[in-house]
Amino acid sequence: MANLTQKYIDIVKDRYPNEPEFLQTVEEVLTSIEPVVEAHPEYIESGLMDRIIEPERMIQFRVPWMDDEGKAHVNRGWRVQFNSALGPYKGGIRFAPNVYPGILKFLAFEQIFKNSLTGLPIGGGKGGSDFDPNGKSNNEIMRFCQSFVTELYKYVGPNEDDPAGDMGVGGREIGYIMGQYKRLTNQYDGTFSGKGTENGGLYGRTEATGYGIVFFAREVLKHFGETLDGKTAVISGFGNVAWGTTQKLEQLGAKVIAFSGPDGYILDEAGVTGEKVDYLLELRASGKNICAPYAEKFAGAKFFPGEKPWGVKADLYIPCAMQNDIQLEHAKQLVENGARYLIEGANMPTTNEAIQYLQAHNVVVGPSKAANAGGVACSCLEMSQNAQHIVFSAEDVYAKLEGIMVNIFKQIEDACDQYNLGENFVAGANIAGFERVAKAMMWQGLV
């Protein structure tokens, strides 16, 4: 059976040799689902395995825009519509200079199984551009967003593809995108999620991913007879995901003692709470580095320039920044620290090699496609809110989010029990997500 799954990994290697992120996620998923494929030979015979590793559709387009000095620029834009077996494509838009097809295909492939785990009727997609919003004026960002969606609008819609925000694309950018979409289509149909609440957005959406991560972490600890109360945590990054994670950890009795930014990391053993969080939000909004100014302002905080925080001893580690933030060398640091729990907040923040090392040394890994699924779950709630022309309260959203995250962990536990995986929650999440998609694909035939 290992040879059968390796066949499809080799296909991806041969077709896309210059897309390591995409290969990484395909390898992680396919090696996990071997027992499912062994139990269902029809997945091979029907060509399902051949189809699930190839996007249904991938659109590339140019994005011309003009800066404040009147100079013309051209960026590239993409939308990867990977799998619609469960519903309309759903996944974010990312603006960053390192965006290219391999990054977006990795994110879209992960999104298929993440969306499946939520139990909601949404397929997997992702999109974005190699545009760098840093240092751009509001007017430049508006002009870029308008140009971007002038091409993208042809391929999206509430029952076709409902993009959300991602790195570099927040409420401001989604607002500009939505405004131009409405102008072009004369439709106010909620095609884009992550909007401001005045534009039909969802209360609680900004913090949803971080809150969901902590709800998931709570379930992981509960599985082992522990609670979050009194636990210390180390996170990487301080975007919306890290902010929501920090806030919910504090509410449930834990505290963040270290976080990182582009300039290094901060160790604050007193805890990142209250006004400290507010100050970090101010720094982030200003576009400045966050660590050095934090250390200058708060006594007792120590700044470690140019370093990652994985050498800090804590109960819980939650990477919330970028893919492959934790590599083998960092995994060894965590093990030396006596780490027990790693809950992935960012998309694929740990290399496959590092995950294997951590699991071999009894570190419990909560995989990103499960732990950070709260964000897309709430994006789907926003779709539902827009379709029904109603407004959910923040309390409604938090309650629904918590229920979804509890159910996601239950699916993983069940998959681990069914396939004798022990506490390999990475494999359990991949299997639970894959099974739902595979069944839908089989029902729909060779399409």
Residues in the chain: 447
Which residues are identified as catalytic? 126
pLDDT of residue 241: 92
- Give the residues across from 81 on adjacent strands: 57, 125
Say if residue 332 carries a ligand binding annotation: no
Query: d(Cα 122, Cα 103) in Å, to the nearest integer?
Result: 21
Say if residue 410 carries a ligand binding annotation: no
Distance of CA 344 to the CA centre of its chain: 9
What is the number of other CB atoms lying within 10 angstroms of the CB of residue 199? 17
- Out of 3.80.10.10, 3.40.50.10860, 1.10.287.950, 3.40.140.10, select the CATH number for domain 55-191: 3.40.50.10860
The tokens of 345 are what?
């907040």
Alpha carbon separation from 1 to 32, 33, 110, 175 (Å, rounded): 12, 10, 23, 48
* C-beta separation of 260 from 294 below 8 A: no
Query: d(Cα 157, Cα 146) in Å, to the nearest integer?
Result: 16
pLDDT of residue 2: 54
pLDDT of the chain, 447 residues: tens digit per residue = 457 889 999 999 999 999 999 999 999 999 999 999 999 999 999 999 999 999 999 999 999 999 999 999 999 999 999 999 999 999 999 999 999 999 999 999 999 999 999 999 999 999 999 999 999 999 999 999 999 999 999 999 999 999 999 999 999 999 999 999 999 999 999 899 999 999 999 999 989 999 999 999 999 999 999 999 999 999 999 888 999 999 999 999 999 999 998 889 999 999 999 899 988 888 877 767 889 999 999 999 999 999 999 999 999 999 999 899 999 999 999 999 999 999 999 999 999 999 999 999 999 999 999 999 999 999 999 999 999 999 999 999 999 999 999 999 999 999 999 999 999 999 999 999 999 999 999 999 999
Say if residue 116 carries a ligand binding annotation: no
The tokens of 363 are what?
């570190």
Give CATH superfamily name and number for 207-370: NAD(P)-binding Rossmann-like Domain (3.40.50.720)
Say if residue 134 carries a ligand binding annotation: no
Q: Model-level pTM?
A: 0.95
Query: d(Cα 236, Cα 321) in Å, to the nearest integer?
Result: 6
Query: d(Cα 325, Cα 410) in Å, to the nearest integer?
Result: 27
Say if residue 407 carries a ligand binding annotation: no
Kindly give the residue spans of alpha helices, DSSP state H, lying in 129-266.
138-152, 171-185, 205-223, 240-251
55-191 and 207-370 have identical folds: yes
Query: d(Cα 25, Cα 403) in Å, to the nearest integer?
Result: 27
256's enclosing H/E stretch is strand 255-261
Say if residue 118 carries a ligand binding annotation: no
Would you list the domain boundaries of the chain?
1-54, 55-191, 207-370
pLDDT of residue 1: 45
